[in-house]
Amino acid sequence: MKKGQAEKNVAGKEAPQELRGEPVVIGWGIGKAYMVGRTVQQSGTAAVASISRESVGGEIIRFNEIRDKAHKDYQKLRQDLDSDSVVDSSILNTYEYILDDPAFISQVVETMSVKLFDLETSIRMVSNEFIKGFEAADTAYFKERAGDVVEVCEKLVSYLNNEAGRAKTFAEPVVLVVLRTFTPTDILAYDRSKISAVITTSGGKTSHAAILARSYNIPVISGVRNITDCIKPGDEILVDSNKGVVFVHPEKHVAEEYAKKTHGEEVYRELRAKWDRPVYTRDGIRIEVLANISLPEDVDDAVANGADGIGLVRTEYLLSNRKDMPPEEAHIAYYEAILKGGRGKHCTIRLMDIGGDKIPQFFDMPQEFNPFMGWRAIRIFLERKEIFETQISAILKAGRGHDYSIMAPMVTTLQEWIEAKAFIREVASKLGVEMPKCGVLFEVPLAILEMGMFMREIDFASIGTNDLIQYLSAADRNNSKVNYLYNPVEPAFLRIIRSAIKTANDNGKQLSICGEMAGHPLHTVLLVGLGLRRFSVIPRNVPIIKEIIANISFAEAAASISLIDVIESTDEMLEWLKNLNNRLLGDVLKKIPYVESAV
């Protein structure tokens, strides 16, 4: 079999292929390939999004509306052209002709009405048929028209993708094939119950998209090469991210073998039923295990998994799939749903962490060479306070009668925090409500190294290990080329974490860790030994972390940690950590589902 080319077997079917990549979120899933980042989906066996018969009329109205929008955009562009423009206005006439082509319109309407496919799928399928017809033509002129159809298709779909709050669903399970960097929108823009797995060309284990996928138990493999050569829309795909393998057109016996696997689901259900209560170490120290969430529906999952509270609400996901900033009423409804769903348990609400790979469609962000270290989070807050006043006001109104606190992300200096806290106090004063407890998410090296200076000005602290590691190691967590540098067991990093925990404990401030490190079972003993008493993890990992904690002696773990001062390399630290887990936990980890083989 030639690499990068799909071959056919004797029966004329596509021959099975295996692609490899880097495991990002462990698990397995099977479904039809759905390409993300590709203009036109192929028809035929491609996974499609379905609608109800009652929705057809509304979809037809939307089709007419977006055609009108496209007309106006092309007409405006024609008006803006001057005599020196390199754009030939006749091209715009061609685009408008396609928009009004009776055959194009009728086929899109028929596809929705008869096949009950949604508007985007119908536009893509009809466009694909037009494109194939043009590409089969004998003359260069007609072959070039295929590109015009692609332009119109992308134009129309772009309007659909900017509509607020609409999540695309599918008639069957799909594997998202992301043909660019994996982003959070790639999860939130679709019906998550239909996403079996994700494969992508790039994206690290602690990218925001990977964190969301892990929250929803969606397996992810990154760094897969030759995707477009080997996978077509609609191909049957089986993803085994435990092994980093993607099966394209898997053989029947392979698919059946995977279907029999439970991947520890029975053990997990037992742990979930067991840990709907607080957890203590073997020597009686209470350790809180909180949940990280993004959406109101995540709260039910957190409660069902026995979370002791909500340690992090990623409020920026309220902005996902919206074409404009939601009004205060939408903010209030979002926070009320989360706070009420928490059933009286404490909830820490993080102010919107806009920027990096979480840029709302409507937000005008400057072009930046490194957006993760650019205009982001509290830096936007301090410059655009009117945006955050809406959020803060909504939090304060929704928070009446609830146990909650507010946390600011990406704080670098004490002065930034003092200014931000003063603004929160100002909004609270205007509303006549009590100032809530406020704290800082320490994820910038300069801030955590000077944590002692913050102690007088904060009510609590949290450590965001995901960004902190990438900034300390100068290794982009989305770049698979430098993933080897992104390591939470780097000795220098662990000494910084130990110092931060000690600073908070010495000053009587509660401190949690809400990064991926806290939810990794192989790090639990280490973090308890460092003195951590508040973990904040994805809901699914709550009972797993509690089970490990229940088998740890706090005193023994603390006594073992002094060795990190003499360990010099990451490899040595990794080996020591494995030995520590074996010594203090015995075979407990082997019984825990979903524990990865490597740190």
Q: Would you state the pLDDT for residue 144?
A: 63
Closest listed residue to residue 394, CA positions, set 439, 436, 355, 346: 436
Name the 3-class secondary structure at 440. Answer: strand
Q: Would you state the pLDDT for residue 5?
A: 46
How confident is residue 532, by pLDDT bands cut at 50, 70 and 90? very high
Q: Look at 200-214, 337-351, 389-403 and tell me which has the smallest mean pLDDT.
A: 200-214
Q: Is the pLDDT of residue 497 over 90?
A: yes
Q: Is the pLDDT of residue 10 over 50?
A: no
The CA angle 200-206-208, to the nearest 5 degrees, is 75
Q: Would you state the pLDDT for residue 422?
A: 96
What lies within 8 Å, CB to CB, of 405 at 6+ separation is 346, 347, 348, 349, 436, 437, 438, 439, 459, 460
How far apart are the C-alpha atoms of 588 and 580, rounded to whole Å? 13
Out of 122-126, 254-258, 592-596, the most confident range is: 122-126
What lies within 8 Å, CB to CB, of 279 at 6+ separation is 286, 287, 289, 546, 549, 550
Catalytic: 208?
yes
How confident is residue 83, by pLDDT bands cut at 50, 70 and 90? very low
* SS3 of the chain: helix, strand, coil, percent, to 5: 50, 15, 35
Q: Look at 90-94, 265-269, 372-376 and tell me which has the smallest mean pLDDT.
A: 372-376
Q: Is the pLDDT of residue 239 over 80?
A: yes
Q: Is the pLDDT of residue 594 over 60?
A: no
> Which of the residues 153, 208, 331, 523 is marked catalytic?
208
Q: What is the largest CA-CA distance in the chain?
A: 82
Q: Would you state the pLDDT for residue 13?
A: 57
How far apart are the C-alpha atoms of 91 and 539, rounded to whole Å? 52
Decide the pairing of beta strands 347-350 and 310-314.
parallel
How far apart are the C-alpha atoms of 522 and 515, rounded to whole Å? 14
Q: Tell me the two tokens of residue 418.
A: 């003092």
3-state per-residue secondary structure call for 81-95:
CCCCCCCCHHHHHHH
Q: Is the pLDDT of residue 81 over 60?
A: no
What mean pLDDT do residues 96-101 have? 90
Within 399-533, residue ranges assigned H as helices are: 414-431, 445-449, 451-454, 465-473, 491-506, 516-519, 524-529
Greater confidence, 159 or 357? 159
Greater confidence, 157 or 340? 340
Under 8 Å between Cβ of 467 and 372:
yes
Q: Choose the CATH number for 266-591 among 3.20.20.140, 3.40.50.2300, 3.20.20.60, 3.30.70.260.
A: 3.20.20.60
Amino acid sitting at position 128 = N
Q: Would you state the pLDDT for residue 84?
A: 45
Q: How do residues 272-313 score in pLDDT, each as one tens digit? A: 999 999 999 999 999 999 999 988 888 999 999 999 999 999
User: What residues are paired with 31 via a beta bridge?
Assistant: 237
How confident is residue 598, by pLDDT bands cut at 50, 70 and 90? very low
What lies within 8 Å, CB to CB, of 585 at 6+ separation is 525, 548, 551, 552
Beta strands in 126-258 (DSSP E): 174-181, 195-202, 220-222, 236-240, 245-248
How confident is residue 91, by pLDDT bands cut at 50, 70 and 90? low
In the numeric block, the tokens 């994700």 are attached to: 198
What mean pLDDT do residues 353-358 have? 64
Residue 431 to residues 419, 424, 582: CA-CA distances in angstroms? Answer: 19, 11, 54
Q: Would you state the pLDDT for residue 44?
A: 44
Q: Would you state the pLDDT for residue 70?
A: 87
Q: How do residues 439-489 score in pLDDT, each as one tens digit? A: 999 999 999 999 999 999 999 999 999 889 988 988 776 666 777 788 899
Q: Look at 139-148, 192-201, 251-260, 301-310 and tell me which has the smallest mean pLDDT.
A: 139-148
> Which of the residues 331, 514, 520, 523 is marked catalytic?
514
Q: Is the pLDDT of residue 7 over 80?
A: no
Q: How do residues 11-63 score in pLDDT, each as one tens digit? A: 445 678 889 888 888 888 999 998 886 544 444 445 566 788 888 999 999 99
How far apart are the C-alpha atoms of 122 and 131, rounded to whole Å? 14
Greater confidence, 265 or 226? 226
Under 8 Å between Cβ of 186 and 36:
yes
Q: Would you state the pLDDT for residue 369?
A: 60
Q: Judge: domain 53-160, CATH 1.10.274.10.
A: yes
* Full-model pTM: 0.67
What mean pLDDT do residues 58-81 have? 83
Q: Is the pLDDT of residue 244 over 70?
A: yes
Give yes or no on whether 17-44+172-261 and 53-160 have one common fold.
no
Q: Tell me the two tokens of residue 318.
A: 């309220």
Greater confidence, 152 or 433? 433
What mean pLDDT do residues 364-371 have? 60
Report the share of the chain in percent with pLDDT over 70: 82
Give residue limits of the domains in the chain: 17-44+172-261, 53-160, 266-591
Q: Judge: domain 17-44+172-261, CATH 3.40.50.1000.
A: no
Greater confidence, 367 or 585? 585
Q: Would you state the pLDDT for residue 156?
A: 85
